[in-house]
Chains A and B, each alone.
Chain A
Amino acid sequence: DVKVTQSSRYLVKRTGEKVFLECVQDMDHENMFWYRQDPGLGLRLIYFSYDVKMKEKGDIPEGYSVSREKKERFSLILESASTNQTSMYLCASSLLSNQPQHFGDGTRLSIL
Chain B
Amino acid sequence: EDQVTQSPEALRLQEGESSSLNCSYTVSGLRGLFWYRQDPGKGPEFLFTLYSAGEEKEKERLKATLTKKESFLHITAPKPEDSATYLCAAAGSARQLTFGSGTQLTVLP
Contact = CB atoms under 8 A, between A and B. Distances in A.
A97 B41 CA distance: 26
Interface string A52-72: 000010100000000000000
B62 to A, nearest CB: 15
A43 B99 contact: yes
A74 interface: no
Interface residues of B, number: 22
A84 interface: no
A25 interface: no
Given A42-B102, A97-B91, A99-B32, A106 B96 contact: no
Contact of B95 (A48, A92, A105): A48
B96 A58 contact: yes
Given A42-B102, A43-B87, A97 B95 contact: yes
B59 interface: no
B97 interface: yes
A105 B42 contact: yes
B97 A101 contact: yes
B20 interface: no
Contact of B49 (A58, A97, A99, A105): A99
Q: Is the interface of A mostly helix, strand, loop or mixed?
A: strand
Contacts, number: 52
A50 B95 CA distance: 8
Interface in B50-109: 87, 89, 91, 94-97, 99-102
A88 B40 CA distance: 11
A81 interface: no
Nearest to A102: B46
9 contacts: A33-B96, A42-B100, A43-B87, A43-B99, A97-B95, A98-B31, A98-B32, A99-B49, A102-B46
A56 B81 CA distance: 38
B101 A42 contact: yes
Nearest to B51: A98
Contacts of B95: 31, 48, 50, 56, 97
Interface string A66-105: 0000000000000000000000101010000111111111
